Chains A and B, each alone.
Chain A
Amino acid sequence: MSAMPLLTLAIWVPILAGALVLATGSDRNASLARTIALLGAIAGFVVTLPLAISFDTAVAGMQFIETTPWIPRYHVNYSLGIDGISLLLIVLNSFTTILVVLAGWKVIESRVAQYFAAFLVMSGLMNGVFAATDALLFYVFFEATLIPMFIVIGVWGGPNRVYAAVKFFLYTLLGSLLMLVALLYLYRASGGSFSLADWRALPLGMTPQVLVFLAFLVAFAVKVPMWPVHTWLPDAHVEAPTGGSVVLAAIALKLGGYGFIRFSLPIAPDASHALSGFMIALSLIAVVYIGLVALVQTDMKKLIAYSSISHMGFVTLGLFLFERLGVEGAVIQMISHGFISGAMFLCVGVMYDRMHSRQIADYGGVVNTMPIFASFLMLFAMANAGLPGTSGFVGEFMVIMAATKVNFWFAFTAATTLIFGAAYTLWMYKRVIFGAVANPHVAELKDLEAREWIFLAVLAIAVLWMGIHPAPFNAVLEAPVADLLQHLSKSKLP
């Protein structure tokens, strides 16, 4: 292991790059801001590569540990460390940031520096969330991500952006404030420690466990989002600019799933077992009901937003089956969803930039004018529908396998997504892409330019790679998942 504080770099390089971008000031220096932003994003990604290269898959615990006292008064440490789960999410996050910068390259014309700075800062903060092993540090990063996202949705979003931004902020803040109470409670119960490792080992009675679990549930369920606290997501997605949607779907939603893995499950294992039926029910409702809701959407972004909620249902389902395949599947699903939903939103962005409409009805016959784009979208649509050979299949399949072991009907209900998912995605695809050229605007469309080509191609490779050869991902996950399940199998009741 190298002596460099790699995790600190992964957090602070993007944030400092963001500050630098902000310093370029007004829109007169827009091209300079863009260049610095791209370099910053690439630098942010490059510093995460050594993490992936020198990561030891055999170790179950935390790696690349850094600890410095931060708030001595409350024994809070600036302590970082990652396991396989965090590693995948950190790399995914840093990678997505590059795509987001590319996606906003031309489209964003006003307050350019602020736009890119917000995304870079957010990227660093998200890395902080995934790397923090101290609960208060986690909370600070977790909450801080709200501020740039709020600004991004509100400033560069669509017509109803103000409503969406405020709804997004207050919804998530409500969740996290309850979590704060739980954190304070655990701090007290553990005799004055915010360390996640201490909390993991802390024996807790059933009532406190359930209360803590519920407080965490509110925070993370809003983030995931789980039915019925999902209603902020379609609003936020529809109004957000393309980059905002990509980061929301690809990264921000993962904070919820990650929170379950890091907090709810290890800290309150008995409550998790006791409430697993409830969690599974909520997940299945999300998978089926939200899948049906997606079917009737007329707005492409809204459709993908609902499809995201439905897919995230698999994550929570997988986690609460307490099966190795399920938990691994859940994490794989998170990563894969990051690629696929990111790609889908970027594709909608490509069309929106040309037509300034997200309505399915305004399109038709796009394949005639944008054949290359149509083929890319085809791949991502198939992946979204869970076609074998794409990354979308792997996670869902693993979760369904795990569900079969637990209860046939869980698996059966979850598997309906393969039908609904295919229905809403491909139906949208058909209406937008195929058919005769619907109107003169479509006839004037130009196919992908080099910049768009690059980010879609990179994502296509990622989706296929994960679909065809998921072994490296599983290898990274194996040890931490086994460790988590081992921990979950023991009661923490005193």
Chain B
Amino acid sequence: MSLTAADFVPIWPELLLLVMVCVILIADLFLRDDQRNGVYVLSLLTLAACAVVTVVSAGSDVSIVMHGMFVDDPMSDALKVMVYLAVGVMLVYSRTYIEARGMFRGEFYTLVLFATLGMMVMISANHFLSLYLGLELLSLSMYALVALQRDSAESTESAMKYFVLGALASGMLLYGMSMIYGATGSLEIPRVAERIANGQANATILVFGLVFVVAGLGFKFGAVPFHMWVPDVYQGAPTAVALFISTAPKLAAFAFAIRLLVEALGHPSLLVEWQQMLAILAVLSMAIGNITAIAQTNLKRMLAYSTISHMGFLMLGLMSGTVDGYGAAMFYVAVYAFMGLGTFGMIMLLSRKGFEADRIEDFKGLNRRSPWYAFVMLLLMFSLAGVPPTVGFYAKLSVLQAALDAGYIGLTIVAVLLSLVGAFYYLRIVRLMYFDEPTDTAPIVASAGARVLLSVNGLAALVIGIVPGWLMTLCQQAMQASL
């Protein structure tokens, strides 16, 4: 068996990115500090080039290459483009921030791009091994990114926690995968599904494996009760990295869940099993995430709990067990990633050298200081709370609809009530921005790129909310064509 040219066509984006990371890594060695901007520009160009390649090669067919290790389907194309977008926007937002904190070095960009490559491999994995490899590439880059500010005790502590718990989760996943391998005799996802469908697999071992896999996934998503690392890492990591963790990897984790749970273990006999597990994770995440968020005074920590609750909503879509539900979940995760970008972007906009702007009070009176950014933040907060006409509402609507369609009426009502609890703390930010007088009166400094992009990000929460149809349809069609 040897690889043919046709095997390489679908992995062009990955190859391109890999080559470019190496180029950037080497180029960085030869650049003086005042030429460092080149790395930034080159990284953005790389992402843009990957996006172009992915979009141009996107089709509606599913092609499996590299001896069954890699799959290129509409879902992976759509998610990859979203990942490029999220990473690119994150790079623009964080430019001023990392420069002010001595992190504006080549390592930051190479690590971010390696993490991106990891996500792309995860998204396109057709084999447990490539799935795991992608996950590890992402995680290892992340650990290093969190610890990048090496003089900060907080960052080091959170990197430590992240690493220990992340390694534990990876171990669980691997253990679960090995059991599934034991039960089915294959690591290739379609093969696994086929063996289960044929009844050739040992059901007990399979369910054991499934439990470990779901636990590992729970860790990666940050769903309760596997959420302990999320608040600490969000708070301790530099805001730029927290922004990164909270956005693009969620897209990859979503793909991971689809590949593992739906494509490999989606047989009706197993579906019931993981639906129940996800239901517990979903309710706990929504409840504990939303309720604990109320008590937070640190904005990053509050957003961490908010993320947990959003992951609960995402699970609601995943557990519906229908293609519509997966489409709704995909829409949800895309919308969530994009709102996360905006909110963390706002924190970075208000921060400056020696001031993190990560306490909730730091947003006091923002409407006095800058009505425009207060408005942008207002849109993002209402969007996170799920109030129409912002896009967050349609995300909630579509997963609730999916859950109701699958017959989970009680769960839907619980989710709705918990989102009311959520509205309370998002509203608190709006309240502070609009109803209080500012305590911090320093002028807002940010690069023009970040300003423009942040404005676009906020307005998009409203505009996509007014015309949400196309994005919903896109997610839906991507799912339908891939499964």
A interface list, Cβ under 8 A from B: 25-26, 69-74, 76, 111, 114, 136, 139-140, 143-144, 146-147, 150-151, 154-155, 161-162, 165-166, 169-170, 173-174, 177-178, 180-181, 184-185, 187-188
Contact = CB atoms under 8 A, between A and B. Distances in A.
A43 to B, nearest CB: 21
B400 A184 contact: yes
24 contacts: A26-B371, A70-B467, A71-B394, A71-B472, A74-B398, A74-B401, A114-B367, A136-B397, A143-B387, A143-B389, A147-B382, A150-B430, A161-B435, A162-B431, A162-B435, A165-B431, A166-B431, A169-B427, A170-B427, A177-B417, A180-B397, A181-B412, A184-B397, A184-B404
Contacts of B398: 73-74
Contacts of B412: 181, 184
A144 B389 contact: yes
B468 interface: yes
B424 interface: yes
A154 B398 CA distance: 31
Nearest to A169: B427
A173 B371 CA distance: 25
Shortest beta-carbon contacts, A-B, top 6: A140-B388, A73-B472, A71-B469, A154-B435, A177-B416, A143-B388
B181 interface: no
Given A154-B435, A181-B413, A181-B416, A73 B476 contact: yes
A184 B397 CA distance: 8
B331 to A, nearest CB: 9
B307 interface: no
A26 to B, nearest CB: 8
B423 interface: yes
Contacts of B468: 71
Interface of B: 367, 371, 378, 382, 387-389, 393-394, 397-398, 400-401, 404-405, 409, 412-413, 416-417, 419-420, 423-424, 427, 430-431, 434-435, 467-469, 472-473, 476
Contact of B401 (A161, A177, A187): A187
A239 to B, nearest CB: 11
Given A71-B472, A170-B424, A140 B393 contact: yes
A141 to B, nearest CB: 8
Contact of A177 (B394, B419, B427, B476): B419
Contacts of B387: 143-144, 146-147, 173
Contacts of A180: 397, 400, 416
A174 B371 CA distance: 29
Contacts of A26: 371
Contacts of A188: 404-405
A184 B388 contact: no
A169 B423 contact: yes
Contacts of B420: 170, 173-174, 177
Contacts of A174: 420
A184 to B, nearest CB: 5
B401 A72 contact: no
Contacts of A111: 367, 371
Given A25-B371, A169-B427, A184 B469 contact: no
Contacts of B467: 70
Contacts of B417: 177
A76 to B, nearest CB: 8
A169 B425 CA distance: 12
A150 B428 CA distance: 12
Contacts of A169: 423, 427
A72 B431 contact: no
A136 B398 CA distance: 12
A146 B420 CA distance: 14
Contacts of A173: 387, 420, 423
B416 A178 contact: yes
B388 A155 contact: no
Contacts of A155: 367, 434-435
A144 B388 contact: yes
B371 A114 contact: yes
A231 to B, nearest CB: 17
Contacts of A114: 367, 371
Given A143-B389, A181-B400, A188-B404, 4 more contacts: A70-B469, A73-B469, A178-B413, A184-B401
Contacts of A187: 401
Contacts of B424: 166, 170
Most central of A72, A76, A140 by chain B CB within 10 Å: A140
Contacts of B388: 139-140, 143-144
Given A146-B387, A173-B423, A72 B469 contact: yes
Nearest to B468: A71
B328 to A, nearest CB: 9
A140 B420 CA distance: 16
A52 B417 CA distance: 41
A150 B413 CA distance: 25
A111 B367 CA distance: 9
A24 to B, nearest CB: 11
Contacts of B435: 154-155, 161-162, 165
B457 to A, nearest CB: 18
Contacts of A178: 413, 416
A177 B413 CA distance: 9
B375 to A, nearest CB: 8
Contacts of B393: 140, 143
Contacts of B397: 136, 180, 184
Nearest to A153: B435
Contacts of B394: 71
B417 to A, nearest CB: 7
Nearest to A114: B371
A271 B387 CA distance: 29
A183 to B, nearest CB: 9
Contacts of A74: 398, 401, 472
Nearest to A73: B472
A173 B422 CA distance: 11
Most central of A154, A169, A177 by chain B CB within 10 Å: A177
A426 to B, nearest CB: 37
B341 to A, nearest CB: 22
B338 to A, nearest CB: 18
Nearest to A151: B434
Nearest to A144: B389
A181 B413 CA distance: 7
Contacts of A144: 387-389
Most central of B378, B467, B469 by chain A CB within 10 Å: B469
Nearest to B404: A184
A74 B468 CA distance: 11
Contacts of A69: 469
Contacts of A136: 397
A102 to B, nearest CB: 24
A70 B417 CA distance: 27
A169 B378 CA distance: 14
B434 A154 contact: yes
Contacts of A71: 394, 468-469, 472
B401 A170 contact: no
Contacts of B434: 151, 154-155
